[in-house]
Chains A and B, each alone.
Chain A
C-alpha cells in the first residue's frame, strides 16, 4: 500500500482558494487518489477521486501530474464551514484496503 505525505496543518481566509498537496511517491499503476473531509465528531466524507490529469466536481478540483507522484486538492472560495481535516489516500489494494494518514488540518479564518 502506498503511503502519503501531507502538511500537518494549513490556514487560510474566507473567500480564498486553498490548495492542499499530497505526496505519494510509491503510487502503484492501479491506484486511484481519493480525498476525504472530516469534521470533528463525524465520520469522513468523500470529496473527490481521480486517476490522472484533472477532475472537478461541485465542491473541489483534483490536479494530478503525469508522473502521479503527487496530487493537489483545490477548494475554491473557502468558507468557515470548510474548516476540517482533509485526508489524501491512494489505493485501494486487492483487498479494498486504504492507508489513512493523519491528514491536513485546515483552519479557515474570517
Chain B
C-alpha cells in the first residue's frame, strides 16, 4: 500500500493564481481531510469529507474548495492564491467506524505564494 500520497511536494504561486493540490489514498478510508500547518503551529483543518460526494468545512475554509468524487481522491483547490496561504498542506485519511481514530498523513505540500 502506498498509503496517502500528495502532489506536488513543492509549489510556488504568484498572488491571484489558482491551483489544485492532489491527494489520494489506497486504504479504502471513508474519511479524508486537508490541514494547513504554519511554522511552529499545530495543524488547522481546512475541509473534510466523510465519504464520496460529501464534504464539509473545517476551521479555516476560506479561499479553498474541495470535491470528493471517489473514495480514493480528495483534491484541494486554491481559488485565487494569497500570501497568507503560504503554508505546508497535509492530507489525511482514516476509517470512520470502530474505536480507532488513527489518521494517516501524506508527506505534505509546501506552498509559497509571492
At the interface, is chain A mostly helix, strand, loop or mixed? loop
Range of interface residues on A (Cβ < 8 Å): 20 to 34
Known contacts A43-B90, A87-B42, A101-B42: does B96 contact A96 (CB below 8 Å)?
yes
Q: Assess whether B103 is in contact with A46, with CB atoms less than 8 Å apart.
A: yes
Contacts of B33 in A (CB 8 A): 96
Q: Which of B14-22, B63-71, B72-80, B104-112 contacts A (4 or more CB under 8 A)?
A: B104-112
CB B21 to nearest CB in A, in angstroms, measures 14
CB A55 to nearest CB in B, in angstroms, measures 12
Number of interface residues of B (CB under 8 A): 29
Contacts of A102 in B (CB 8 A): 40-42
Other A-B pairs, 6, CB within 8 Å; known A49-B100, A49-B101: A41-B108, A43-B90, A43-B108, A46-B102, A95-B50, A96-B48
- Which residues of B are in contact with A by a Cβ distance under 8 Å? 4, 31, 33, 35, 40-45, 48, 50, 56, 58, 90, 92, 94, 96, 99-108, 110
- Which residues of A are in contact with B by a Cβ distance under 8 Å? 32, 34, 36, 41-46, 49, 87, 91-92, 95-98, 100-103
